[in-house]
């Protein structure tokens, strides 16, 4: 199967990637348009809810959270694979990451931003949002540092800012390339500004290497901490079905899972719209697919562990929730999650599907659906079937306003992502060059070795 050619001219790499900033396929504009419409719907819903009150989301006591928090977790989770691919694989010198990590990181950043939005639409008094920030004030009032929600805020802020920096630093040499190849105009100005006068001197490269490595090292534990903190929003509470020890690893696995699935989806979309067949090769796709499969199995395992733990415990309330999940109002969705999350990925086990683009595209979408359902199934059943039977409520159903905003969030994310790919090189040029360079060296060595043998 064909991979990036060793003999590809470096100049061509520049041209190809720079082209992606100029003229993508028509599909790009279609996607962009759809995204804008979807986002519009979301905004409309929020305006309506903001003016009328949270009631229009058809939330109630005890169902106080609904889809907002579920989707919030979903987006947080999605953000994790960017880091995984970029940082971990970077540390392991897996050079096949090089053509694809850029958009993966972009995905991280933007899904974090989307997640942030859900905190906003969720709270009852958006106009008082700043109360939850630890800013010094004359009254000496501070937010409650004991609240997992505040840990969330802190972790997400750290994660978001770090990933943005990581993304930016990694992009500097490419910005320099863009600067050098771009005709005069606002773009050139932009790149000149962002390239910070990068010239690829030995000194710059030296420090660059160390810095990049360091941040990568920071990002990995950070990513893990972020989603385990999100998990502790639930694990730290007393609610049945939430108060589970294995939640943090379970959440992290779920996060990586949905992230990888999303990467496959976006990989396929970018590959086509920006004509990256040359760089985003099927062999790379194959590697991601295998990685995803592995993670899917880990997730399946942790899922089973969670249920087993509850089943084996003497916590009647939690058991009741589990049974409710499997047999109650939400059963179809819960089983849907199991199917999408644990059965569908088995497709990846077959060699012939591992590079079959249509199949992979469909599958990856299913996986993400499954991961979204997982988040919803963590939230809803616990609320509708909590500790206190008198307030059990199995009839609560998210209103169109909630669905509208979930829909809109996908629009928002796609919008940001697509614009990014159009403005910034979504394939790392300098690293592709490195990749090619090292391969050639390797080939040379092996040739000379052969000659020696004769």
Partner 1 sequence: MSVSNLLENWSQFRHAHPVDDKPHDPYKWAMSIDLDACTGCNACSIACYAENNIPVVGKERFQHGQQMHWMRIERYWDEDGRDFPDQGAQFLPMMCQQCEAAPCETVCPVAATNHTADGLNSQIYNRCVGSRYCSANCPFKVRYFNWYDYPTDEAVWPAEMRQQLNPDVSVRSKGVMEKCTFCVQRLSAAKSVAKSEGRIVREGEVQTACQQSCPTGAISFGNLVDPESRVHKQWQAQRVELDKDKQAKDEHEEGTDLRGYRILEELRPYPSVMYLERVRESAV
Partner 2 sequence: MSKRHLLAMYANFEEAEAVVKELRSANISGFNAGDDMIVKSPIEHPEVEEFLGEKPVYVQWFTLVGSIMGGLLGFFLISGAQANFYTQMKGGKPIVPLPPNFVLTYEMFILGGVFITILGFLICAGLPAKRSSLYSTKVSEDHIAILVEVEEAAVGAIKAIFVKHKALEIQEEAGK
Partner 3 sequence: MIDSGSIKQLAGHPIDRRDFLKVLGWSGAAVALSGCGNTSVEDGKETVVSYVEANDYMIPGVGVYYNSTCAQCDAGCSINGRVREGRVLKLEGNPDSGINKGKMCGLGQAGVQDHYNPDRVREPLLRNGAKGETITWEKAYALIAEKLNGVKGEEIAFLSGGVSGHLKVLLGNYLDSIGSKNHFVYEALSPAGVRAANLKSYGVALPRYRLDKAKVVLSFGADFLGSWISPMHFSQQYAQFRKGADGQRGVLIQVESKMSLTGANADRWLVVKPGTEGVLALGIIHALGTASGEIAELVKAYDRVTVSKATGVSVSQIDKIAALLKLRSPSLVLAGSAVEGYAHGAQNAIAINLLNHVLGNVGKTIEAPVAVPFPQLAPSVGNTASLKALNDGLAAGRYKVMFSYATNPVFTAPGAFKFKDSMAKAGFKVAFAHYLDETALQADLVLPLDSALEDWGTQIPEYLADGMQLNIQQPLMEKLHANTRSMGDILLALVKQRRVEDYKGFEDYYAYLRSSLLQNKGALGAGGSDDDNFWNEALTKGILKIASSAAMLSDRAAASGLQLPKAEEVDAKFPMHFIPGVTASMRDGRHANQPWLQESPDPLTTIVWDSWVEIHPKKAFELGIAEGDIVEVTSKTGSIKAQAYLFSGIHPEAVSVPLGRGHEALGRYAKGFGVNPFGILDAVYDKETGELAMHETRVSIKKTGARVLIVKDEGAAGGLQMGRKIAVSKTTDQVDLSEEV
Question: What is the contact surface with partner 3 in residues (CB under 8 A)?
Answer: 316-317, 320, 384-385, 387-395
Q: For the chain, how far is it from start to end, CA to CA, in angstroms?
A: 30
- 218: part of which helix (H) or strand (E)? helix 202-235
**Distance in Å, CB of 230 to partner 1, minimum:** 13
Residue 8 · residue 436 · CB < 8 Å: yes
Tokens of 138: 């004359």
Select the span of 68-76, 151-159, 256-264, 387-395 touching partner 2 (CB under 8 A): 151-159
Of the residues 201, 238, 446, 451, which one makes contact with partner 2 according to CB under 8 A: 201
Residues 4-23 that bind partner 2 (CB under 8 A): 9-11, 14
Of 228 and 292, nearer to partner 2 (C-beta) is 228
- Binding residue for partner 2, selected from 187, 287, 433, 439, defined by CB under 8 A: 433
Rg of the chain, C-alpha, whole Å: 24
Shortest approach of partner 1 to residue 136 CB, angstroms? 11
DSSP 243-278: --TTHHHHHHHHHHHHHHHHHHHHHHHHHHHTT-TT
Residue labelled with tokens 């995204």:
35
Interaction residues for partner 1, span 218-277 (CB under 8 A): 233, 236-239
Task: Supply 113's token pair.
Answer: 């931003």
Question: Is residue 189 at the binding interface for partner 2, with CB under 8 A as the rule?
Answer: no
How many CB atoms are closer than 10 A to CB 447?
A: 10
Q: Which stretch binds partner 1 (CB under 8 A): 104-112, 141-149, 342-350, 402-410?
A: 141-149
Site string for partner 1, 148-177 (x = CB under 8 A): xxx--x------------------------
Please identify which residue in the block is written with the tokens 């999650």. 337
The option from partner 1, partner 3, partner 2, none interacting with 169 (CB < 5 to 8 A, set by class) reads partner 2
CA 219 to chain CA centroid, Å, is 14
What is the Cα–Cα distance from 297 to 257, expressed in whole angstroms? Answer: 9
- 30 is a site residue for partner 1 (CB under 8 A): no
Residue 316 interacts with which of partner 1, partner 3, partner 2, none, CB < 5 to 8 Å by class? partner 3
Interior angle at CA 145, CA 142 and CA 151, nearest 5? 125
CB distance 419 to 113 below 8 Å? no
Token pair belonging to 423:
């403005």
Which residues from 42-81 bind partner 2, rule CB under 8 A?
Answer: none
- Binding residues (CB under 8 A) for partner 2: these are 9-11, 14, 134, 140-142, 144-146, 150-151, 154-155, 157-158, 161-162, 165-166, 169, 172-173, 176-177, 179-181, 196-211, 214-215, 218, 221-222, 225, 229, 430-431, 433-434, 437
């Amino acid at each position: 199967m064909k991979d990036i050619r060793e003999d590809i001219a470096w100049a061509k790499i520049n041209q190809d990637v720079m082209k992606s900033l100029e003229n993508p396929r028509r599909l790009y504009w279609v996607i962009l348009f759809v995204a804008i419409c979807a986002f519009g719907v979301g905004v409309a819903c929020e305006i309506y809810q903001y003016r009328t009150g949270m009631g229009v989301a058809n939330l109630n006591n005890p169902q106080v959270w609904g889809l907002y928090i579920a989707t919030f977790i979903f987006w947080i989770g999605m953000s994790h694979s960017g880091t995984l691919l970029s940082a971990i694989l970077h540390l392991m010198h897996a050079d096949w990451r090089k053509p694809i990590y850029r958009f993966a990181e972009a995905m991280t950043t933007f899904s974090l931003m989307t997640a942030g939005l859900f905190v906003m639409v969720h709270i009852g008094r958006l106009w008082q949002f700043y109360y939850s920030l630890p800013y010094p004030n004359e009254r000496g009032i501070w937010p409650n540092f004991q609240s997992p929600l505040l840990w969330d805020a802190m972790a997400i802020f750290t994660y978001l800012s770090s990933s943005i920096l990581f993304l930016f630093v990694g992009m500097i040499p490419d910005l320099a390339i863009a600067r050098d190849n771009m005709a005069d105009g606002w773009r050139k100005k932009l790149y000149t500004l962002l390239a910070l006068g990068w010239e690829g001197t030995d000194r710059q490269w030296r420090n660059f290497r160390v810095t990049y490595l360091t941040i990568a090292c920071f990002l990995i534990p950070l990513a893990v901490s972020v989603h385990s903190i999100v998990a502790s929003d639930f694990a730290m509470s007393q609610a049945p079905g939430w108060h589970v020890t294995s939640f943090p690893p379970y959440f992290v696995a779920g996060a990586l899972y949905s992230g990888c699935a999303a990467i496959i989806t976006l990989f396929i979309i970018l590959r086509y719209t920006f004509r990256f067949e040359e760089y985003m090769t099927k062999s790379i796709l194959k590697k991601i697919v295998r990685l995803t499969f592995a993670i899917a199995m880990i997730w399946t395992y942790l899922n089973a562990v969670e249920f087993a733990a509850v089943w084996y415990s003497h916590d009647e309330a939690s058991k009741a929730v589990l049974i409710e999940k499997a047999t109650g109002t939400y059963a179809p969705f819960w089983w849907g999650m199991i199917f999408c999350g644990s059965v569908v990925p088995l497709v990846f086990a077959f060699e012939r599907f591992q590079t079959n683009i249509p199949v992979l595209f469909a599958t990856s979408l299913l996986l993400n659906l499954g991961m979204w359902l997982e988040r919803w199934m963590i939230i809803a059943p616990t609320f509708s079937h909590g500790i206190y039977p008198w307030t059990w409520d199995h009839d609560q159903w998210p209103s169109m306003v909630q669905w509208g905003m979930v829909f809109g969030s996908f629009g928002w994310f796609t919008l940001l992502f697509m614009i990014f790919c159009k403005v910034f090189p979504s394939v790392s040029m300098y690293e592709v060059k490195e990749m090619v360079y090292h391969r050639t060296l390797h080939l040379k060595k092996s040739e000379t070795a052969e000659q020696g043998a004769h």
